[in-house]
Structure 1
């Protein structure tokens, strides 16, 4: 798909300004022509943004680097959804004249800079693409088998600034989170210090020989601060999913986010021993910069779950809960595959 998109120059936007549309008659052919040309460019932008999102999601699924180069500041700028959904030239003209003229670029900092967001889009689809692109930094670094502190810190800063800007926009408009952006936000934090590829291998994804090679990492991870951070966000992901309206179709990234929660809990209980309990102190947990955004109240659910797990076993309460949540997703068939994979991790001989 990406090769085809490049061949037909889908990533090149020949965007001509509409000009003085105010002087055009509402039912004129000239206005309709300008509107249709504008709409074609907007369609291309949305296809490109969708390709970026799918590229990152496939990279996460297969634990490899994305094909595209993902930098948030290079994403195409989208017009407001209401403007794009205008049913006719007359309606589009009225909305366009009343809309603030878009500024090219998303104004996210270029990689390596510490400057913060200066302008945030009023479009959830573009916010979605921006967030996925921030996550691509963490996924690329993790796919190479390491998590450099500089990359982790850069992602932390971008994620925290994204959240602050998004919270302002979403509170002002009071619109629902149709793209499950907060679930994606938490799932990216889970990847910052955790190599899910190695955790899956430690659970036996590629056979016993690979499992033996990766179990030292899984054991050290389970006793580390990184595991506590990942599980904190896993708990918040579950809470956000349970708040979705009944019958709502979750976004494409949600099944994998829940699956990673299950992998994290399975490895934590199977390879952990409770030695790292010093990391579970509420004062220590509040040292994570993102947790300060929510306050200590959000820690209670995690601490309650943490106090009831059984060590050296995968069949803990959290993993069964996650399998149940995956079963509620009917729109994405991959959710069933993820639930089946998690079930295979459970040692059923001791259950009955």
Structure 2
């Protein structure tokens, strides 16, 4: 099914991307779902297809101007029920497109981490709006959406304006107000953490992640600031039992990024035989020498 989906999408690129922007967005969303399946399937041949197809999806999204979208808070005053439903659906469509492009950033970071190579996208200067707060995005009706929209903070700035690495120098345990604006959005937390992972991979590839290097300290502080921004003290109460809110398995991923910061997984995988016993023996000898 995954392979057939890719073939069908490739066959429709020319017509959808060049002739019908609305259909093009739907095609890119379908491709993103297919790519996600390929990443999670565990099949080596699927991973090869995902890596090869990744650049194509990015190119088509750029062609449709999906990377240059802006987010505007609609005026909700004085709307009738019908008008409110129309505005809600329009906002939801815009949010879907924003999250689709953010999904491409997630895939980009996943592939770089998994396959130990550079990213295709630049993650620190990401110029997309932050994803909507969880309660706003999950609103079941137009009326509930309006109520939650009126209570939300204005987050029309792009993600790069909220990233720790782009902020003035401050201690990681005291996130700045601009960073805390993103706290109610679990999806934004997920995207930001993938951005940190992508940056770690880039530095790892260039050999600039020694524990004493400035880049190591920068990424350590960034990961710690992410924790104090998105996770510290974030709990929900269910039937008088306090349970962590972690629908994206964020803390597991946070620890994984820390592991990549401390260990070159490319060398580790070669040492345990990924590229054959001879290559593995050479890497093990290297570790023993150290």
State whether TM-score is above 0.5: yes
CA deviations over 1:60-103 (Å, ceiling 9, x no partner): 11111111111176453121222122233233222222333335
Q: Distance in 1 between matches of 2:208 and 2:289?
A: 14
- State the partner residue of 2:71: 15
Q: Distance in 2 between matches of 1:198 and 1:150?
A: 22
Task: String of CA shifts for 1:303-340, please: whole Å, max 9, x gaps.
Answer: xxxxxxxxxxxxxxxxxxxxxxxxxxxxxxxxxxxxxx
Q: Which has the higher contact order (CA 8 A, sep 6+)?
A: 2
Alignment TM-score, normalising by the size of structure 2:
0.67
Q: Secondary structure at the match of 2:66?
A: coil
Distance 2:115 2:140 in 1: 40
Residue in structure 2 matching 1:196, options 239, 247, 265: 265
- The structure-2 alpha-carbon separation of the partners of 1:215 and 1:75, relative to structure 1 and needing over 3 Å to count, comes to farther
Shift of 1:134: 1.2
How far 1:169 sits from its partner (Å)? 5.3
Aligned equivalent of 1:32, options 60, 85, 94: 85
Pair 1:73–1:170, CA change in 2 (3 A)? farther
Q: CA deviation at 1:142?
A: 1.4
Q: Does 1:155 align with 2:219?
A: yes
2: CA distance, partners of 1:165 / 1:14? 24
Aligned equivalent of 2:135, options 63, 82, 88: 82
Q: Which residue of 2 aligns with 1:334?
A: none
**Cα distance, 1:145–1:82 mapped onto 2, change above 3 Å:** same
Matched ranges for 1:216-295 at <5 A: 216-220=285-289
Paired residue for 1:63, among 111, 116, 136? Answer: 116
Q: What number of residue pairs does the alignment pair up?
A: 218
Matched, 1:165 2:229: yes
RMSD across aligned positions (CA): 2.5
Once residues 114 and 73 of structure 1 are traced to their aligned partners in structure 2, the CA distance between those partners, rounded to angstroms, is 20
Aligned match of 1:47: 100
Aligned 8 A contact 2:133 2:186 in 1: no
Distance, in Å, in 2 between the alignment partners of 1:193 and 1:216 is: 20
SS in 2 for 1:11: helix
Q: Is the 8 A contact 2:190 2:248 kept in 1?
A: yes
Q: Larger C-alpha radius of gyration, 1 or 2?
A: 1
The CA deviation string for residues 230-251 of structure 1, in whole angstroms up to 9 with x for no partner, is: xxxxxxxxxxxxxxxxxxxxxx
Once residues 288 and 84 of structure 2 are traced to their aligned partners in structure 1, the CA distance between those partners, rounded to angstroms, is 65
How many Å apart are 1:176 and its aligned residue? Answer: 2.2
Confirm or deny that 1:108 pairs with 2:141: no
Provide the C-alpha distance between the structure 2 equivalents of 1:112 and 1:18, rounded to a whole number of angstroms. 28
Give the drift of 1:158: 0.7
Tell me which residue corresponds to 2:283: 214
Cα distance 1:103–1:168, how it changes in 2: closer, same or farther (>3 A)? farther
1:215–1:114 distance in 2 versus 1, CA, 3 Å: farther
CA distance in 2, matches of 1:219, 1:72: 40
Quote the Cα distance in structure 2 between the aligned partners of 1:62 and 1:85: 34
Q: Deviations over 1:80-131 (max 9, x none)?
A: 2221222332332222223333352341234596345422221111111111
Stretches of structure 2 that go unaligned for 5 or more consecutive residues are 1-56, 238-242
Structure 1 spans left out of the alignment, 5+ residues: 222-352
Q: Quick one: distance in 2 between partners of 1:113 and 1:195?
A: 29
Aligned to 2:247: 178
Tell me the equivalent position of 2:205. Answer: 143
Normalising by structure 1, what TM-score?
Answer: 0.56
Partner Cα separation in structure 1 for residue 94 and residue 190 of structure 2: 19
For the structure 1 residues 197 and 10, does the alpha-carbon distance in structure 2 shift closer, same or farther, using more than 3 Å as the test? same
